[in-house]
Amino acid sequence: MRSQICLIDTSKCIGCRACQSACKQWNQLPAESTTFQGSYENPPYFSCMTWTKVVFREHNDNGRTSWYMSKQGCMHCTDAACILACPTGAIHHTDHETVAINEIKCIGCNYCAAACAFRVIGFDRSANFAKKCTFCYERIRSGLKPACTSACPTGSLVFGEERTIIRQAQDRIEQLRANGRSQARIYGLNEVQGTAMLYVLEDFPDRYGLPADPSVPIQTRIWNAIYGPLRIAVVLAVTFSLWANFNKNRELDEGKASRQDAGGGKR
């Protein structure tokens, strides 16, 4: 079980983008040029410069227009497709059960972005590695809240202990259903074995641009089953090579020092 997660209550989201701006500021992500594509959602896609964004979805039902808005980004899945797809082990679960990318190990293959059901991973072509939301790992390990939750003015984003957050989400669902939102539901509790981003939705997931039944692609599981053991072998081989190289250099240094001492004694 995760120790801490984030609640995203879409019924309280006003689309202010404070979370989006806070993510940019904390992670020192530059602005990017975009074009109007018929929606208030901007920028329209995740990228190496946009890890968090507010989704705007407009629906017209029987002449009535409804807006569905929510903060979206990496879900930090328990059954994470990106981890299974990564051939080098660059993507991993941290000690806080968040999903992180080791940029040193990343080879820029982009398999993680292709496997992700939520399409939230960007790719930095100049640096040749993948980038995404880190769940403000540096902040939470220091006892702080993620930047996005600290900036939310309406209480749509709440960070806390998992049991407390789940109970809060369940209570909110009961309130929404009592107020006529019969399709209100929790999203992220069981999807991909649980996510660190728990949603309170007022309607079906696809209304917010979320996959109804996110899962790890079968080809990704096959890939991991075949190449997983090979990846371990490669890591062990590299470790052994580094160890052997270290010992060899140490022996050379010791031999050099010994010769210098012997030369000094003759003089």
In this structure, what CATH number is given to the domain that contains residue 157?
Answer: 3.30.70.20
Asked if 97 and 156 sit in the same domain, the reply is yes
The pLDDT, as a whole number, for residue 214 is: 96
Q: Which domain holds residue 261?
A: 228-267
Residues of the chain with pLDDT under 70: 1, 228-267
Q: Are residues 93 and 196 in the same domain?
A: yes
d(CA 248, CA 236): 18
Quote the pLDDT of residue 227. Answer: 73
Tokens of 153: 């003015």
- Of 184, 188, 181, 177, nearest to 211 (Cα)? 188
Q: How many folded domains does the chain comprise?
A: 2
User: pTM for this one?
Assistant: 0.83
For 107-148, how does the pLDDT look when each residue is reduced to its tens digit (9 = 90+)?
A: 899 999 999 999 999 999 989 999 999 999 999 999 999 999
